[in-house]
Amino acid sequence: MLSGCSNFTNKASSGGSSGGGTFTFTSWGTGAEKEAVTAVVNSFCSSKSLKGVSQNIPYDSYETKLNTLLAASNAPDAGYLTEAMAMRLGEQGKVASILGEKGFENFLPQTIHHWANDKAVSQTAVEVECLWFDQDATEKAGVTPPATTDGAWNWDAMIQAADKLTVDDNGRHPSESGFDAAKTKRYGIAGLTGLPTLVALLKSKGIDMFDDAGTKTNLDDPAAIAVIQDVADLIFEHRVSPTPAQATTYGGSTALLLASQRVAMAIDGQWALLDLSQSKLKYNVGVLPRYDKPLTTLLGGANGIFISTPYKDVALELLVQLADPSQVPLYSNGLWMPMDRKYYTDETAMSKWLKEGVHPSNYKTAVVAPTLSNSVVMPAYKIKNFSIVSTTLTNGLTPVFSEKRSDVTQYVTKLADQVKQQMQGAYPDIVS
């Protein structure tokens, strides 16, 4: 685990001054993300007379690697952090607060996460859940996915649309006599079983996934169980959605899932746009279905500055630069969304990251506007021990969406009790 640790040495020993030292930034991500982050780090550090080291670590081993470096008192200067790790390290006094620092004052409040009343960390970028669709398939079926929150499908309308898009080998729909579910050629919709989507659906019905104190999950609330049952019914009763395992076999990404023509619509993070824009698919985007208020979920990892760095001021400047669409191509190529409010409200600022040929025609109304006004924050920064809790929930809900069950209420109630045993409280819920 300590291989490559030489990259973390030779830092200046004092002050915040630059000049001849090494500045290390750790991140995960491959391809375009790795290349863009490396280029920005190297260029920025060069301007500060520092040697920039962009250390890329696979996501699956990221926390383990950083924990090893921290234990050896050999932390990087700054870098990506998973949500739960950012809060834990903040609480332990190992990362610096960005509150009151220049450049962060206009960030969306949803992107600033407090581990104490006066201390917080910011996200790397904004990501939200979206309804991606194959426009050729929807046009052929006479289905128009809603492009604004005002027109968001209620649950029944979403089922009707998905039914029109679902066909078997003989062209029959699930609502028609003779439909052969074993020979489904194309499903109408996929992607409603993940925790981020469930967070939005639950909140749309007025339910938070967890209580404010972080002592229990509300999944055993009868209204929450009804939402989970609704999602399961899409698969087993209405037959318009594949199981998660089936969806995986059709495509490892939303771009592949839609391109396979086995699914017409898929809910996924806006990061799917990077792959979609590089495909030959005629794609577009809509808003998520709703119960009451239409909502999407805002999520994303954090950027952290390690308290041991002699270059705190440099690190703060770098994080602000990484948040600037004019400096980082990951915004215009569809992987990231900005954190500064002006990029959602000012047309000139929006033009710096919204790119024709990448961001589809519905993007402003279906993604930009809901991010600002109709988003609920993923509770990853709110709930302590979230990495363990979320794994238990994800693994625990999988059987509900894998096969038809008659005991959903009892099963989810038991799962909620299991989660309760793992919960350790909540961080301050501050929205400025």
Domains 5-126+300-323 and 128-298+378-422 share a fold: yes
Query: What is the 3 state secondary structure string of 265-317?
Result: EEEEECCHHHHHHCCCCCEEEECCCECCCCCEEEECCEEEEECCCCCHHHHHH
* Residue 127: alpha-carbon gap to chain centroid: 5
Pairing of strands 22-27, 51-56: parallel
Q: CB of 355 within 8 A of CB of 333?
A: yes
DSSP state letter for 432: -
CATH architecture type of domain 128-298+378-422: 3-Layer(aba) Sandwich (3.40)
Domain map (residue ranges) of the chain: 5-126+300-323, 128-298+378-422
DSSP state letter for 366: I
Q: Within 10 Å of residue 10's Cβ, how many Cβ atoms?
A: 12
DSSP state letter for 71: H
Which helix (DSSP H) or strand (DSSP E) does residue 129 occupy? strand 127-134
Domain covering 5-126+300-323, topology: D-Maltodextrin-Binding Protein; domain 2 (3.40.190)
Q: CB of 111 within 8 A of CB of 126?
A: yes
pLDDT by 10s per residue, the chain, length 432: 233 333 333 444 334 455 679 999 999 999 999 999 999 999 999 999 999 999 999 999 999 999 999 999 999 999 999 999 999 999 999 999 999 999 999 999 999 999 999 999 999 999 999 999 999 999 999 999 999 999 999 999 999 999 999 999 999 999 999 999 999 999 999 999 999 999 999 999 999 999 999 999 999 999 999 999 999 999 999 999 999 999 999 988 999 999 999 999 999 999 999 999 999 999 999 999 999 999 999 999 999 999 999 999 999 999 999 999 999 999 999 999 999 999 999 999 999 999 999 999 999 999 999 999 999 999 999 999 999 999 999 999 999 999 999 999 999 999 999 999 999 999 998 764
DSSP state letter for 364: I
* Residue 123: alpha-carbon gap to chain centroid: 11
Q: CB of 247 within 8 A of CB of 190?
A: yes
Which helix (DSSP H) or strand (DSSP E) does residue 397 occupy? helix 386-402
Q: CB of 250 within 8 A of CB of 257?
A: yes
Which residues are bridge partners to 80 per DSSP? 303
193 residue type, one letter:
T
* Residue 329: alpha-carbon gap to chain centroid: 19
